[in-house]
Structure 1
Amino acid sequence: MPQPEKQLNPGESPGAWFGSELRHRRKLDGLSARQLGRLVQVSDDVILAIEKGKYPSCQQPLAAQLDEVLDTGGVFARAWPMVFGDADKKRRDADKPAAPPEERSVQVTQGRILGGDAPPPLTGSPAPVDRRQFLQASSLAAFVPIDLVQLVSPSTPAQQPDTIRPLDIDQVLGVASSISRWDNSYGGGGMVRDVSSRAMQWAAGLLYADCPDVLRPDLFAAVSRLGIVVGASAFDAYAHDDARRTWKFAAECAEEAGDWHLRAKTYSFLARQAVWVGEPDEGLTHAEKGLVRSDRLTPTERAMLHTARARAFARMRNVRDTLAAVGQADEAFADRNAAEDPQWMAYYDDAQHAGDTAHALFDLAVFAGQDPGKAGERFWAAVQGHDPAFARSRAISRTKLASLMMATGDPRQAAVIGHDALDEVGRLTSRRAVDDLRQLGRFAGAHAKLSDAIDLRERIAATVRA
């Protein structure tokens, strides 16, 4: 007589969540542990050990294979660093021969606006803004073959100015505003990605030019602002390394400029990205860094950062701290005075706040058994409140609302909302929006006998392939 299957507790540990998620997705696809093992070239014992949280260190390539076979949209690869990263590092470190002591540079942990009159970095430490390294190491370069670049590029490259003028700073800010509008309307892929990458390299090059002291803060602030929107574009296109590098560069520029508002925005984005790629603990750290000297931030900016904390706690399945962080975000947002905010924070309005906090509550509702009503109300408010200039945010909120209802409510109504979301996502170049569609498709797969859910899943599959 077969042994009853062990009940899993996904809230016990990150490994337990990973295993529970693997079993859930395996069964959704109707696969036995042996069948799945054959598809990813491991034994069924390995699959069962991972599901039970007993496997010491699932290798990163295996996590990627599981994503591909089960069509998860990268869930296991994103979760891998949090679940198995430390064990894998210890294993690799144990295999290395002991290295002799060596001279190490001292990393400066405080920027200029935090360090005040801190002494300069010790010899061998990186400069406060390592612009040359950024330009050389960044892959924010052309993304088309070099022969085509030569064909369409101007015969005389654009010249960097020898001395910075107010006009140069205005140009950087103007380009940043344009890229932000395009990114919100169309997503970060395609031409938006290419234009933003080239603009970032050109703007970073301005930091080599002579600059009057009176213009230095404005120059660094403008380059930081551009870095924020270019990083956001890269994030949406899943160029995660580029996004992370660009935001850190933007944070350094913000500190050089002494601009607390730009600094807070960069750490908010770093936090959101870390949560998205399955590193909520790092995301929480970034959000907390952004809240340093929160008295210098506007209520809107504090709400933005508390929302990032909520999303990190929610990804950890920490119900109490998630709800507390959402409450702090709501309290800060209630004191919002748009006239106090920087112009580029105008996007964070009622609809944005509703959608961002709903994402945290979504994770609690779907994965931690909490009331889905609160998340649903906020997603609906976001869908109703976003104007056409924020098509991506509206499409993502609509997709998540459909997923919430498909997982916890009426699947027929969820299908109707899902089709509306598909109408919007089909006009975007957003990898994030596509991943949310894949999640909706998986939730629809749980209603295998419902024609509405079947039709939606087929349309999602066709849209994702296209």
Structure 2
Amino acid sequence: MKQLDPGASPEEWFGNELRELRLAHKMSARVLGRLVQISDDVILYIEKGKYPSCQVELAKQLDEVFNTGGLFERAWPMVFGKRDADKKRADADKTLASRGEGAVQVRRGRILGRDEPPPRPGSHEPVDRRSFLQVSGIAAIAPIDLTQVFAPSDLSLPETVRPGHIVQVLEVATAISGWDNQFGGGGMVRDIASRAMQWSVGLLQATCPEPLRSDLFAGVSRLGIVVGASAFDSYAHDDARKAFKFAADCAEEAGDWHLRAKTYSFLARQAVWIGQPDDGLTYAEKGLVRADRLTATEQAMLHTARARAFGKMGDVRDCMVAVGQADDTFAQSRPSEDPLWMAYYDEAQHNGDTAHALFDLAILAGQDPGRAARRFDTAVKGHSDAYKRSRAISRTKLAALLMAKGDPRQAAAIGHKALDEVGRLTSRRAADDLRQLGAFSAKHPKIEEAVGLRERITATVSA
């Protein structure tokens, strides 16, 4: 923990007071962040005197939490007031200077009431985050590394954004999402997704009428989620993570809580998949910030992500609690309240996702495999042809569960059905699940059906 010098600056004095009170109350930064509706990263940056412009509303909330009698509110003008006034004057000057240029005007923190997005795990240093959308060119619309992935090249871009351009972005996102669910995220799907993202990111450089601004950022966020999902499925994990975080930034610029929740759900799922369940849990819980603004379906989606993180950790109690929370919130779902792009999260998807968490408990912690098997079976029966990848993955996991904990012959029969679908997908996630099924099959060398399945898996995965 960094040693603070309260006499070094007003900001460090303010931060020192906050840290002393937090520690005296034996409260973690995460808990305090939840109470005042900001991230734990922001709390720590304020304590270090490195957060540039704490809002007066936050100062009032801190006073309420610690019952200070107004200490932070009274100190706010001395610590942050002048800087806040200078920033407003600078913003006004920029607005006057840029009116003739028609640049997209940025209003930060429309979701969480802060002046800038807090650092996220694995993000660039704050100075880079503050550069988001502040200067001209592609560096202004994405984290620095992302410019190498999504920089527009020879694509034709309009000078001014029109409603039709936003409609195009959304329709392309819907189309790519559909292909991704049917065929997997690799191959042509990923190529098309990357090109669509290049063009859409380029739109953020064009002149945008103020009434269209939020819709533009929301549309690009939606496409960013789809592109990230495609990259995730083809194991381009670094590209996927950047796309999801970029989509989260765009969602916050648009003030869209629903898109923000979806990006954190994907970040959580990806982290769990690549063996970082603790990071996955953090992402899922960040997605649940202000859960009251999310639909019941979205809350269920994020609780499921928490369950999958706990399951991968082998944490039986917390995983079961999270599955219960996911079930309870999903029972309250009203599809008419959900964004159209949440239509995929139906009963089949919910059962498949929660079954993954219970699968890990069965394999890693010796828990009853029947709970996961029943949910996988419901998912397989419920997924339509529009969601072939999800159906194939659930069928493969069901076969793997039975091969490891149940009847190998029944598992082999289910596994062959899964292979019939997986063989037509360009999904490395689906291929990895097949490898797991093959490894479980190898434990039954005297059972002909298991041996035959393993041989077919080897031929399919290596083809």
- The TM-score normalised by the length of structure 2 is 0.72
Distance 1:124 1:438, change over 3 A: closer
Distance 1:360 1:159, change over 3 A: same
Letter of the structure 1 residue corresponding to residue 149 of structure 2: S
Query: Aligned runs of 1:221-300 on 2, under 5 Å?
Result: 221-300=218-297
Q: 1:131 aligns with which of 121, 124, 141?
A: 141
Asked whether the 8 Å contact 1:415–1:456 carries over to 2, the reply is yes
Asked whether the 8 Å contact 1:402–1:415 carries over to 2, the reply is yes
Instruction: For 2:311 and 2:193, locate their aligned partners in 1 and report how far apart those are by CA, in whole Å.
Output: 32
Between stretches 366-375 and 293-302, larger displacement belongs to 366-375
Q: Is 1:443 the equivalent of 2:440?
A: yes
Q: Which secondary structure does the structure 1 equivalent of 2:168 belong to? A: helix
Query: Aligned runs of 1:387-402 on 2, under 5 Å?
Result: 387-402=384-399
Instruction: For 1:398 and 1:108, locate their aligned partners in 2 and report how far apart those are by CA, in whole Å.
Output: 51
Instruction: For 1:252 and 1:119, locate their aligned partners in 2 and report how far apart those are by CA, in whole Å.
Output: 10
Q: Please give the per-residue CA displacement for 1:443-465, whole angstroms capped at 9, x wherever unaligned.
A: 00110111110000000000001
Instruction: For 1:246 and 1:237, locate their aligned partners in 2 and report how far apart those are by CA, in whole Å.
Output: 14
Asked whether the 8 Å contact 1:107–1:125 carries over to 2, the reply is no
**Aligned-pair distance for 1:216?**
0.2
Number of matched residues? 351
Q: 2:166 aligns with which of 161, 169, 183?
A: 169
Letter of the structure 2 residue corresponding to residue 274 of structure 1: A
**Aligned-pair distance for 1:106?**
6.1
Instruction: Give the aligned CA root-mean-square deviation in angstroms.
Output: 2.4
Asked whether the 8 Å contact 2:221–2:259 carries over to 1, the reply is yes
Instruction: For 1:136 and 1:380, locate their aligned partners in 2 and report how far apart those are by CA, in whole Å.
Output: 40
Which residue number in structure 1 is paired with residue 67 of structure 2? Answer: none
Q: Is 1:319 the equivalent of 2:329?
A: no
Query: Aligned runs of 1:23-422 on 2, under 5 Å?
Result: 112-116=109-113, 118=115, 126-129=130-133, 130-131=140-141, 133=143, 137-140=147-150, 157-422=154-419
Letter of the structure 2 residue corresponding to residue 200 of structure 1: M
Structure 1: tracts of 5 or more residues without a match: 1-103, 143-152
Q: Which secondary structure does the structure 2 equivalent of 1:242 belong to? A: helix
Distance 1:109 1:306, change over 3 A: farther
Letter of the structure 2 residue corresponding to residue 127 of structure 1: S
Instruction: For 2:283 and 2:113, locate their aligned partners in 1 and report how far apart those are by CA, in whole Å.
Output: 21
Asked whether the 8 Å contact 1:135–1:201 carries over to 2, the reply is no
Asked whether the 8 Å contact 1:106–1:125 carries over to 2, the reply is no
Q: Which secondary structure does the structure 2 equivalent of 1:375 belong to? A: helix
Instruction: For 2:158 and 2:289, locate their aligned partners in 1 and report how far apart those are by CA, in whole Å.
Output: 36
Letter of the structure 1 residue corresponding to residue 141 of structure 2: R
Distance 1:401 1:124, change over 3 A: closer
Distance 1:124 1:137, change over 3 A: closer
Q: 1:454 aligns with which of 437, 444, 451?
A: 451
Letter of the structure 2 residue corresponding to residue 294 of structure 1: A
Q: Which secondary structure does the structure 2 equivalent of 1:195 belong to? A: helix
Q: What percentage of residue pairs aligned between the two structures are identical?
A: 66
- The TM-score normalised by the length of structure 1 is 0.72
Q: Please give the per-residue CA displacement for 1:164-184, whole angstroms capped at 9, x wherever unaligned.
A: 100000000010000000000
**Aligned-pair distance for 1:133?**
4.6
**Aligned-pair distance for 1:435?**
0.0
Instruction: For 2:366 and 2:241, locate their aligned partners in 1 and report how far apart those are by CA, in whole Å.
Output: 33
Q: Which has the higher contact order (CA 8 A, sep 6+)?
A: 1
Distance 1:105 1:196, change over 3 A: farther
Q: Please give the per-residue CA displacement for 1:332-376, whole angstroms capped at 9, x wherever unaligned.
A: 000000000000000000000000000000000111110011100
Q: Which secondary structure does the structure 1 equivalent of 2:130 belong to? A: coil
Instruction: For 1:346 and 1:445, locate their aligned partners in 2 and report how far apart those are by CA, in whole Å.
Output: 39
Distance 1:159 1:326, change over 3 A: same
Instruction: For 2:313 and 2:272, locate their aligned partners in 1 and report how far apart those are by CA, in whole Å.
Output: 9
Q: Please give the per-residue CA displacement for 1:52-88, whole angstroms capped at 9, x wherever unaligned.
A: xxxxxxxxxxxxxxxxxxxxxxxxxxxxxxxxxxxxx
Distance 1:115 1:299, change over 3 A: closer
**Aligned-pair distance for 1:128?**
3.8
Letter of the structure 2 residue corresponding to residue 352 of structure 1: Q
Asked whether the 8 Å contact 1:131–1:207 carries over to 2, the reply is yes
Instruction: For 1:259 and 1:160, locate their aligned partners in 2 and report how far apart those are by CA, in whole Å.
Output: 25
Asked whether the 8 Å contact 2:323–2:354 carries over to 1, the reply is yes
Letter of the structure 2 residue corresponding to residue 331 of structure 1: D
**Aligned-pair distance for 1:288?**
0.2
Structure 2: tracts of 5 or more residues without a match: 1-48, 56-107, 119-125, 134-139
Distance 1:134 1:201, change over 3 A: farther
Instruction: For 1:218 and 1:323, locate their aligned partners in 2 and report how far apart those are by CA, in whole Å.
Output: 38
Asked whether the 8 Å contact 2:54–2:114 carries over to 1, the reply is no
**Aligned-pair distance for 1:131?**
1.5
